[in-house]
Amino acid sequence: MKIIHSPTDVVPAVLTESPGTKSHRAYTQIRADILSCHHLPGTKLNIAGLAADLDVSLGAVREALSMLQSEALVVSEPQRGYTVSPVSPKELADITEARIAIEALCLRTSIERGDLAWESRLVASWHKLSRLSQTDAGKDQHLSETWSRAHADFHAELVGACGNDWLLRMRAMLYEQSERYRRMSVSMPQQTGTRDVPAEHKAIFDAVMERDVERAVAALETHLRKTATIVRSSVAL
Amino acid sequence: MKIIHSPTDVVPAVLTESPGTKSHRAYTQIRADILSCHHLPGTKLNIAGLAADLDVSLGAVREALSMLQSEALVVSEPQRGYTVSPVSPKELADITEARIAIEALCLRTSIERGDLAWESRLVASWHKLSRLSQTDAGKDQHLSETWSRAHADFHAELVGACGNDWLLRMRAMLYEQSERYRRMSVSMPQQTGTRDVPAEHKAIFDAVMERDVERAVAALETHLRKTATIVRSSVAL
DNA sequence: TAAGACGAAAATATAGAAAAATCCAGACCC
DNA sequence: GGGTCTGGATTTTTCTATATTTTCGTCTTA
């Protein structure tokens, strides 16, 4: 009789795309569960429970949580374990303001320094984003996963020529936090009425392609602020 | 014959001010050793060796290193262990530019929002800093530890009324990185000739007390840029 | 009702096993 | 002769199972 291997054995490395270590697999898994709000903000994370779920040891989970702490997705109190980072209107406001400032900074230098190769990459990701629908055909509850990916790529590409690794790292962190808030907010029926997201993206894109820094920064700020407003009113904080 | 204890043994727990966990003690110790350049940038950190030195288990060291990774003081490659974050002129430039931008941002809001209590705290830390000498009387090689502390407090207090926890967290991170570079640079004999650090601090302080945002930001930028220039020319990268 | 003791649960710590990478000597080919 | 490859030996990282310590809730008792 043929023996069925456990899932971890048969899943090829390329699919998980995580470095072989179990800590990293646990990290990836827990991270996804937090971002998808499977673990709700503010809830306590039971180390033993997670270890059982993920079929790894306590130490591995502990290390994974350490990694997540560096992304501010979980917080720890000594001797009292880990909890999913709580959310609050104040936090959302802070993140939004910080993000606007830093994205603007990155965008400025990116436009100034960006060469033809960057422009080409930007055109590519813009094209992809503009041809995708925000929602999947099947269920209009949540945003399409492909669209989210394309959206992230487009925003990353905008600042791709910035060159300052530290600013980019901070930008990435803030983007991720914003995403967490966005995903927490329930489906966005009110958006469609009051808002034209593709038009906002186009405004940014056009300004960037014309190398009009001020207009691009202003368009980006408008885009981010509108998103934050929607999320704030939509999510139950 | 009397046995000489290793430094880590004789330091009382109250001095380190760490939460009881051994992981955190290890973290504090390794962190200090990196900042003081006892562990040089780019060197590999042997987990077993550290565990032996600090008299804790592998797991505790591993967790401490995880924490340090979140501060970007160490980097890890899966299956290949941890190394002290390398330094480079590019990195120094990135950190400096990012720091100038973010400190300026924080200072702006801090001046706008700062109340009397903040002003009072700022006066206090300014007073302390202004009365301390940069170098210890005994050895003029390195900066005085008390002065460094007061300097950090003063700069932290400047932006203390900013209110945006995310920006402040990033500021703290960048300050720490700058400190690492500064401590790496050898003693600063050339500074005394070309530079008057207390005057630079006074310029910032005066502008802030007069609530002159633009002048304060300009003074701060000058201060940070000068420091970076000195460090870049002084340190062997 | 409040203080204290007890027990369960959870976090932290440790030592040793397993897995992976590195190192080194010797063989082989050009 | 020089350079490259191969196969273990060794070191180092990673993982697990277990032990210890701390915290939290509960139940008793004054």
B18-28 per-position pLDDT tens digit: 577 899 999 99
B14 band by pLDDT with thresholds 50, 70 and 90? very low
**Chain B residues 60-89, Cβ below 7 A from strand C:** 60, 63, 79-80
Contact between A98 and B167 using a beta-carbon 8 Å cutoff:
yes
From-to residues of CATH 1.20.120.530 in chain B: 89-234
Write out pLDDT tens, residues A149-196: 999 999 999 999 999 999 999 999 999 999 999 988 865 555 555 788
Strands B81-84 and B74-77: antiparallel
Poorest-pLDDT segment among A110-119, B13-22, B176-185 = B13-22
Amino acid A61 CA to nucleotide C10 C1' distance, rounded Å: 14
A10 band by pLDDT with thresholds 50, 70 and 90? very low
Strands A74-77 and A81-84: antiparallel
Distance CA B199, CA B204 (A): 9
Place of tokens 């430094």: B7
CB A112 within 8 A of CB A214: no
**A174-207 burial by CB neighbour count: b if 16+ within 10 A, else e?**
bbbbbebbbbbbeebeebeeeeebeebbebbbeb
Share the mean pLDDT of chain B: 87
Distance CA B191, CA B232 (A): 12
CATH 1.10.10.10 fits B7-84, yes or no: yes
Which residues from B are below 8 Å from A13, CB to CB?
A: none
- Give residue B208's pLDDT: 98
**In 3D, which of B157, B175, B159 has the Cα closest to residue B106?**
B159
Poorest-pLDDT segment among A141-145, B66-70, B230-234 = A141-145
Superfamily of domain B89-234: GntR ligand-binding domain-like (1.20.120.530)
Give residues with Cβ within 8 angstroms of B44, minimum separation 6.
B81, B82, B83
Contact between B21 and A165 using a beta-carbon 8 Å cutoff:
no
Distance CA B73, CA B30 (A): 10
B15 band by pLDDT with thresholds 50, 70 and 90? very low
At B232, which amino acid appears?
R
Candidates A62, A79, A95; nearest CB to B63: A62
Strand partners, B82: B45, B76
> The tokens of A31 are what?
């991270």
A236 band by pLDDT with thresholds 50, 70 and 90? low
From-to residues of CATH 1.10.10.10 in chain A: 7-84
Task: For residue A13, say whether its CB is under 7 Å from any atom of strand C.
Answer: no
Task: For residue A48, say whether its CB is under 7 Å from any atom of strand C.
Answer: yes
CB B212 within 8 A of CB B108: no
- Put simply, whether A105 touches B (Cβ < 8 Å) is yes
Write out pLDDT tens, residues A94-132: 999 999 999 999 999 999 999 999 999 999 999 999 999
User: Average pLDDT for residues B176-203, to the nearest whole number?
Assistant: 80
